[in-house]
Amino acid sequence: MTRPGDRPGWQARVAAARAEREALSRTRVRRSVSHRDGARCRVDGHSLLNFCGNDYLGLSQHFAVVNALQDAASREGAGGVASHLVCGHHEMHDALERELADWLEAPAALLFGSGFLANLAVLQSLLDEESICVQDRLNHASLIDAARLSGCRLRRYPHGDPEGAIRQLRSLPDGMAVLATDGVFSMDGDLAPLRQLALVAKVQKALLYVDDAHGVGVVGPEGRGSVAEARLGVQEVPLQLATLGKALGGYGAAVVGDADLIGHLAETARPYLYTTALPPAQAAATLAAVKLARSEHWRREKLHELVARFRDRALRVGLQLMDSDTPIQPVMCGADAHALSMSQALEQAGYWVAPIRPPTVSEGRARLRVTLSALHGPGDVDGLVDALAYARDRIAGPRETARVAQPVE
């Protein structure tokens, strides 16, 4: 029997975990940005062109969005004051929820402090120990954690495999079932096969829930996301998540969908009931951003042109890309050390591209996650591709360069 004096302390556990990360080249360091100006950031005294953010439409610094934030803050203050069901719900929250629901063609919407909270809320309010949640293997960590914390049986299917999804749903024929998937996958940039998954959900009587954090604002007609791109509606996808902190440039998230389901979340979801509401000023800023995203279609058009330009030039110089037509363009590096070295070389050339390593991605699948924004110009894209090719050739040996130069589609 272990005595209390023999129990390892937290210091040993933390030190061992740190040593393991260092041995695997997987330590992570926060970088402090002192100023943002369009697509440029000042980091540690250096101006870098940012290719690793999620400000896809370039709205985070738009004067109308910033003015809305400042104006509302001057009148309503800086904070949300309390939870929505106590005294924190403001008419600005109502206005934003109505605008989001109208844009995404759904009956209702409900605001949350973050996408992580929203996913926790959805799965924990719908599932219990007798339920099953079936998920794509590459879903965001928040969906996986939400299912685990709900106590349900979590089953995962091979990436983008509807047949795998139906096999997993059949493994537990009784009890509530939720089929959950990202709409646009955050590390690969590809779209989920939503039409096929909708058919699977219908046949198996499962609720299809789509986390469209990286789709809303970017893909689909009028930027309404991957659900609209797949020509689906609330009947097929009763709930979807729209983040407010990526294409819309702000902070927070909303769950949009069936009115009865949204009402259920508002009354039962612990991450909604027991947390402070978004500041009204932040809601006002996002409301302005949504209106811009709906009306200024040129932002999406420019973004799509930049994506095509990047892919064309990157494949010409033999960079390894994945099958993505979204602003998320992974450049595959393989080994963790290669991803780190290439990222450092790019920074020396004036470009900020973050290396993505396990456990965020699978072993041997380290990459540079290039993300494009309407704030970038054609020359920015061309310069980045040249810098990527130079970094690859400088870091890899001649034999390795020849191997890497085979494009992957």
User: What's the pLDDT at 409?
Assistant: 33
- 105: number of Cβ within 10 Å: 14
Secondary structure (3-state) at 318: coil
On the question of a cis peptide bond just before residue 355, with omega within 30 degrees of 0, the verdict is no
Number of domains in the chain: 2
Q: CA 171, CA 245: separation in Å to the nearest integer? A: 36
Question: Looking at the domain assignment, is residue 355 inside a domain?
Answer: yes
Same domain as 210, residue 138: yes
Q: Tell me the residue range of the domain where 326 lies.
A: 33-57+297-404
User: Which residues are part of a known binding site for substrate?
Assistant: 28, 140, 360
State the residue for tokens 């738009």. Answer: 62
pLDDT for res 2: 59
136 and 108 co-located in one domain: yes
Tell me the Ramachandran region of residue 111: left when phi exceeds 0, alpha when psi lies from -120 to 50, beta otherwise.
Answer: beta
Domain containing 43 — which CATH number? 3.90.1150.10
Which residue positions in the chain have pLDDT lower than 50? 398-409
User: Do 107 and 248 belong together in one domain?
Assistant: yes
Residues 53 and 117 grouped into a single domain: no
The annotated binding site for pyridoxal 5'-phosphate is made up of: 115-116, 186, 214, 243
Domain shared by 245 and 166, yes or no: yes
Domain match, 45 and 94 both? no
Choosing from 271, 295, 319, the residue where a domain stops is 295
- The reply to whether 11 falls in a domain is no
CA distances from 338 to 27, 322, 367 (A): 14, 17, 9
SS3 9: coil
Kindly report, residue by residue over 109-149, the tens digit of the pLDDT: 999 999 999 999 999 999 999 999 999 999 999 999 999 99
Asked whether residue 67 is domain-assigned, the answer is: yes
What is the predicted pLDDT for the residue at 328? 97
Length of the chain: 409
The pLDDT score that the predictor gives to residue 292 is 98
> Are residues 180 and 288 located together in one domain of the fold?
yes
Residues 371 and 321 in one domain: yes
Residues contributing to the annotated binding site:
28, 115-116, 140, 186, 214, 243, 360
4 within some domain: no
